[in-house]
C-alpha cells in the first residue's frame, strides 16, 4: 500500500524563505495576523488529517468506486466520515470571506493545503474543491439575497457545489449549449436539459447540492453570447433555510472511468427545475469563468500532488529494492545485489520527477501570493499587475502541471518495474488518476490556445511584457552574485529564446492564425520550463546563502536538484523552439482524406 508524508519543510522553504510571503501577505489589509507560526501550525495540522484519515481511503476508493442505485449515489466506505472531519476542522473555509462564515486567511495557504489533499486522495479532493469554486462564483456575481441564502451553508460545507457546463454535443465549445431557461412569474426560471461529466453532481456527503448551470433564455443570441448562469439547488430551502422540497433535478447515471473512481461523475437531468439567475442575462460564461479559472489552477495542483506522492513511493522502493550491480562495481557487496538507487537511469527518473515537483510548487505558491495581492493590495496599480500575472500563468499551470504530472507518475511507476503494473503497490492508480487532469476543465490544447491566441495579445501584449520584465529585472539583480553565475547563464539563454520566439509568433500569428494553433502546445511548454527555471534560479540563490548553516543536507539537495533541472530538463526548449518555428504547413498541408 502506498504511503504519503506532506512535504512541509519544502512548503515552508517556498513560503518563508523563497517568496518571503510572511512579510508580503501580513502587509495586506485583513492579513495582519497571518504570522509564520500560524501558517506552520495550519500546515502541520492539515498534514495530520490528510495523512492519517484521507490518504488511507485512496486505494479503497479506487477499488470500490461510487455506487449508483435508484438515482442515488453512495461514495466509497469512509468518505463520509472523512468529509465530516474535513468540514468540522474548517479546512474548506480557510480562504473564504468571514461575512459568510469563512476564516478570511490568504489564498496562498489554501493552495498549499490543496497540494497535500490531492496527494493524499485526489478523488476525495474534488468534492470540496468544486464547492470552493462555486462559492467564489456566487460571491462574485450573485445578488445579496442568493448570497445570504446559499453561501453560509456552502462555506460550512454541509451544502456542496457543482459546475454544470458540458452537454453531449457541447464540450469545449460551450456556444453549443442547448439547456433552456424559461422565465417564471415569480422571477425564477425553469431549467430544462441534460448535463454530463458533472463532478459531485450526486453524492451522499452533503445534505444539499447547489448546481451552477449554463443555460439559454428564450430568444438569446447564438453562441456564447447567449448563455446565462443559474443557481439550481437539489433541494429548495424553506423559510428556515433548511433543505425542503426536492427540485426537479436528478442523476441519470454515473460514468465508469479510467481513474478518480472515488469521485462521482454524473449525468444530471433538469426537468423544469427551479433556478435563479446569477449575474446579468447572457453573461453567464463570463460569470462562470470566476469558477473555471479557480478550477483550472486547482487541476494543475492535482498534477503536482500526484507527482509528489508518486515520487515519495518510488524513492522508497528504489532504496529497498535490490537489482543488479552498480556499473562501477558493487555498491553493497554484503548484499545479493545493489539497490535500484545506484543506477543512473533510475536516478534520471527520480530526479526528473523531483525537479518538476519542486519547481512547480514554487510557481504555484508564487501564483497564489499574486492572487492575494490582486485582491487585497491597497494600490490599484499593484492589484492590476498581480492580476495580469495570474491571468497569464493560469493556462500554463493547468496544462504544464497536469502534463508533467502524468509523465512523472508514469516514470515513478517505471521505477517499480513489473510491480508498478500491479494494483497493490498503488502506482498504476496514480497514473490513471493523473490522466484526467490533462482533459477536464478545458483540455491542455485549449489552455495552450488561450495562452497564444488571447494572453499574448490582449492589452497590446501587456501581460507577457510585464512577466518578461519581471524575469529580466531578477537577472540584473543577480549579475554580481558570483556563486550563482553557472546557473544564471542557462536561464538568460532561456529567457532570450522565449522573448524572441514570442515576438516571432505574435507576428506570424497576426498573418496566419494556423501558426498560433500549430505552435501552441510547444510554446506553452517552453513558457512553463522558463518559468520553472526562474523559480529554480531563485531557490538555488537562497540555498547558496544558507548551505553552511544547520540544514546542510536540505540546501545541498536543493542546489543539486536545481542544477539537474537547468542542465537536463530546461534544454528541451531548444528542440521545442525548432518545432514551433517549423510552422503550420507541416500540419495543414496534408489533405483531410489522407488521414
Q: How far is CA 427 from CA 218, 237, 321, 415, 516, in A?
A: 50, 44, 15, 10, 37
Q: In this structure, are strands 265-278 and 249-254 parallel, antiparallel, or unpaired?
A: antiparallel
Report pLDDT for 314. Answer: 98
Report pLDDT for 332. Answer: 87
Q: Taking a C-beta distance cutoff of 8 angstroms, is the pair 156, 92 a contact?
A: no
Query: Which of 441, 476, 493, 545 is flagged as catalytic?
Result: 441
Q: In this structure, are strands 208-216 and 159-164 parallel, antiparallel, or unpaired?
A: parallel
Q: What are phi and psi of 336, to 5 degrees?
A: -70, -20
Query: What whole-number distance in Å separates Cα of residue 207 and Cα of residue 368?
Result: 31
Query: CB within 8 A of 208, min separation 6: which ones?
Result: 153, 158, 159, 160, 233, 234, 235, 237, 243
Using one digit for the tens of pLDDT, what is the confidence trace for 15-25?
A: 999 999 999 99
Would you call 246 helix, strand, or coil by DSSP? Answer: strand
Query: CB within 8 A of 502, min separation 6: which ones?
Result: 456, 464, 468
Would you call 209 helix, strand, or coil by DSSP? Answer: strand
**Hey, what's the cell of 272?**
423544469
112, 300, 397, 346 alpha-carbon torsion, rounded to 10°: 90
Query: What whole-number distance in Å separates Cα of residue 460 and Cα of residue 447?
Result: 20
Q: Taking a C-beta distance cutoff of 8 angstroms, is the pair 97, 139 a contact?
A: yes
Query: What whole-number distance in Å separates Cα of residue 264 and Cα of residue 297?
Result: 21
Q: Taking a C-beta distance cutoff of 8 angstroms, is the pair 96, 135 a contact?
A: yes
Q: Taking a C-beta distance cutoff of 8 angstroms, is the pair 351, 559 a contact?
A: no
Report pLDDT for 102. Answer: 97
Q: Taking a C-beta distance cutoff of 8 angstroms, is the pair 189, 182 a contact?
A: yes
Query: What whole-number distance in Å separates Cα of residue 447 and Cα of residue 445?
Result: 5
Residues in the chain where the model's pLDDT stays below 50: none
Report pLDDT for 548. Answer: 85
Q: Taking a C-beta distance cutoff of 8 angstroms, is the pair 235, 208 a contact?
A: yes
**Within the chain, what is the greatest distance between any pair of CA atoms?**
84
Query: What whole-number distance in Å separates Cα of residue 459 and Cα of residue 457?
Result: 7
**Hey, what's the cell of 9?**
519543510
**Hey, what's the cell of 18?**
523563497
Q: Is the overall model pTM greater than 0.85, yes or no?
A: yes
Query: What whole-number distance in Å separates Cα of residue 357 and Cα of residue 562?
Result: 11
The region, left, alpha or beta by phi > 0 then psi within -120 to 50, assigned to residue 70 is left
Query: What whole-number distance in Å separates Cα of residue 82 and Cα of residue 150?
Result: 23
- Burial, 215: exposed, middle or buried (Cβ in 10 Å; 0-12, 13-18, 19+)? buried
Of 201, 225, 229, the closest CA to residue 138 belongs to 229
| Axis crossing angle, helix 572-581 with helix 485-511, rounded to the nearest 10 | 10
Q: Taking a C-beta distance cutoff of 8 angstroms, is the pair 117, 263 a contact?
A: no
| Axis crossing angle, helix 107-120 with helix 284-320, rounded to the nearest 10 | 50
Of 366, 237, 213, 221, the closest CA to residue 291 belongs to 213
The region, left, alpha or beta by phi > 0 then psi within -120 to 50, assigned to residue 260 is left
Residue 441 a catalytic site member = yes
The b/e string for 234-272 (b: 16+ C-beta within 10 A; e otherwise) is: bbebeeeeebeeebebbbeebbebebbbbbbbbbbbbee
Query: What whole-number distance in Å separates Cα of residue 211 and Cα of residue 234?
Result: 7
Provide Rg for the chain, Cα atoms.
Answer: 24
Listed by start position, the domains of the chain span 445-595
Amino acid at each position: 500500500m502506498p504511503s504519503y508524508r506532506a512535504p512541509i519543510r519544502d512548503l515552508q522553504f517556498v513560503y518563508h524563505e523563497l517568496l518571503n510571503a510572511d512579510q508580503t501577505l501580513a502587509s495586506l489589509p485583513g492579513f495582519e495576523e497571518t504570522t509564520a507560526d500560524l501558517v506552520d501550525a495550519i500546515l502541520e495540522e492539515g498534514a495530520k488529517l490528510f495523512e492519517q484519515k484521507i490518504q488511507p481511503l485512496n486505494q479503497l476508493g479506487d477499488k470500490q468506486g461510487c455506487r449508483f442505485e435508484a438515482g442515488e449515489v453512495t461514495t466509497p466506505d469512509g468518505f463520509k466520515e472523512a468529509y465530516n472531519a474535513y468540514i468540522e476542522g474548517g479546512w474548506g473555509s480557510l480562504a473564504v470571506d468571514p461575512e459568510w462564515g469563512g476564516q478570511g486567511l490568504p489564498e496562498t495557504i489554501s493552495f498549499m493545503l490543496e497540494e497535500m489533499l490531492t496527494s493524499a486522495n485526489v478523488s476525495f479532493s474534488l468534492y470540496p474543491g468544486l464547492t470552493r469554486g462555486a462559492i467564489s462564483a456566487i460571491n462574485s456575481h450573485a445578488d445579496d439575497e442568493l448570497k445570504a441564502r446559499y453561501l453560509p451553508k456552502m462555506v460550512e460545507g454541509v451544502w456542496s457545489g457543482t459546475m454544470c457546463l458540458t452537454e453531449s454535443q457541447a464540450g469545449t465549445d460551450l456556444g453549443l449549449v442547448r439547456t433552456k431557461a424559461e422565465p417564471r412569474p415569480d422571477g425564477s426560471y425553469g431549467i430544462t436539459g441534460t448535463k454530463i461529466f458533472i463532478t459531485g453532481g450526486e453524492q451522499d456527503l452533503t445534505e444539499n447540492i447547489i448546481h451552477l448551470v449554463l443555460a439559454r433564455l428564450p430568444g438569446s443570441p447564438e453562441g456564447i453570447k447567449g448563455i446565462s448562469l443559474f443557481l439550481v439547488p437539489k433541494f429548495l430551502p424553506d423559510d428556515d433555510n433548511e433543505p425542503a422540497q426536492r427540485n426537479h433535478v436528478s442523476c441519470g447515471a454515473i460514468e465508469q472511468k479510467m481513474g478518480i473512481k472515488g469521485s462521482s461523475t454524473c449525468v444530471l437531468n433538469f426537468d423544469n427545475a427551479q433556478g435563479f439567475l446569477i449575474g446579468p442575462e447572457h453573461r453567464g460564461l463570463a460569470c462562470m469563468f470566476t469558477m473555471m479559472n479557480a478550477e483550472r489552477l486547482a487541476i494543475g495542483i492535482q498534477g503536482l500532488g500526484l507527482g509528489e506522492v508518486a515520487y515519495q513511493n518510488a524513492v522508497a522502493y528504489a532504496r529497498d529494492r535490490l537489482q543488479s550491480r552498480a556499473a562501477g562495481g558493487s555498491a553493497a557487496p554484503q548484499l545479493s545485489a545493489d539497490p535500484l538507487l545506484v543506477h543512473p537511469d533510475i536516478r534520471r527518473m527520480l530526479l526528473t520527477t523531483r525537479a518538476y515537483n519542486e519547481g512547480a510548487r514554487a510557481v504555484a505558491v508564487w501564483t497564489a501570493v499574486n492572487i492575494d495581492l490582486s485582491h487585497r493590495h491597497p494600490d490599484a496599480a499593484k492589484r492590476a499587475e498581480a492580476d495580469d500575472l495570474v491571468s497569464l500563468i493560469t493556462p500554463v499551470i493547468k496544462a504544464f502541471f497536469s502534463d508533467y504530472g502524468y509523465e512523472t507518475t508514469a516514470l515513478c511507476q517505471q521505477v517499480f518495474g513489473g510491480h508498478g503494473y500491479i494494483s497493490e503497490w498503488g502506482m498504476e492508480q496514480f497514473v490513471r488518476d493523473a490522466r484526467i487532469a490533462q482533459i477536464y476543465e478545458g483540455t491542455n490544447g485549449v489552455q495552450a490556445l488561450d495562452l497564444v491566441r488571447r494572453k499574448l495579445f490582449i492589452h497590446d501584449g501587456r501581460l507577457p511584457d510585464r512577466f518578461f520584465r519581471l524575469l529580466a529585472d531578477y537577472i540584473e539583480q543577480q549579475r554580481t552574485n558570483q556563486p550563482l553565475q553557472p546557473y544564471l547563464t542557462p536561464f538568460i539563454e532561456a529567457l532570450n529564446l522565449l522573448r524572441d520566439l514570442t515576438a516571432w509568433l505574435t507576428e506570424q500569428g497576426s498573418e496566419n492564425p494556423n501558426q498560433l494553433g500549430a505552435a501552441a502546445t510547444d510554446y506553452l511548454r517552453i513558457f512553463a520550463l522558463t518559468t520553472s527555471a526562474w523559480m529554480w534560479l531563485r531557490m538555488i540563490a537562497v540555498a547558496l546563502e544558507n548551505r553552511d548553516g544547520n540544514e546542510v543536507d536540505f540546501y545541498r539537495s536543493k542546489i543539486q536538484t536545481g542544477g539537474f533541472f537547468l542542465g537536463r530538463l530546461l534544454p528541451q526548449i531548444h528542440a521545442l523552439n525548432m518545432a514551433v518555428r517549423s510552422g503550420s504547413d507541416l500540419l495543414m498541408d496534408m489533405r483531410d482524406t489522407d488521414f
